[in-house]
């Protein structure tokens, strides 16, 4: 998981896989610096290829991260990639933000 420490920003759910390998791993990336979801993927993809992974974007949305109140809300969708499975995203986030309240919805805002 690599997301900004505060604010509301776009995120993508990315599946990593070794070429020809069975094992898959999903990662979450999100940042205010990205105007569009594909900007995040364009940064992640070359980084992961250097590590020997193939990347596939499973979709996107938005994250509202409030580190002061220890709350994260996952919502929305990506116009280009479609909606990520927010329930998967939340499970990944819970592994890192263990003491947070993390929720998701299909709301657009």
Q: Which residues contact 23 (CB under 8 A, 6 or more apart)?
A: 17
Catalytic residue among 37, 39, 65, 86: 37
> Is 86 an annotated catalytic residue?
no
Task: Strands of the chain (E only): list them.
Answer: 2-3, 6-17, 24-31, 54-66, 71-75, 101-104
Distance CA(66)–CA(100), nearest Å, equals 10
On whether 43 is known to bind a ligand per the annotation, the reply is: no
Q: Which residues are catalytic?
A: 37
Residue ranges of the annotated binding site for substrate are: 10
Residue ranges of the annotated binding site are: 10
């Amino acid at each position: 998981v690599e997301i900004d420490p505060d604010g509301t920003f776009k995120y993508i759910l990315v599946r990593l896989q070794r070429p020809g390998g069975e094992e898959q791993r999903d990662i979450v990336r999100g940042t205010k610096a990205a105007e569009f979801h594909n900007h995040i993927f364009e940064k992640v993809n070359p980084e992961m290829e250097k590590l020997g992974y193939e990347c596939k974007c499973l979709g996107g949305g938005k994250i509202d991260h409030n580190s002061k109140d220890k709350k994260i809300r996952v919502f929305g969708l990506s116009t280009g990639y479609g909606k990520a499975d927010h329930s998967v995203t939340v499970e990944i986030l819970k592994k890192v933000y263990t003491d947070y309240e993390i929720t998701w919805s299909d709301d657009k805002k």
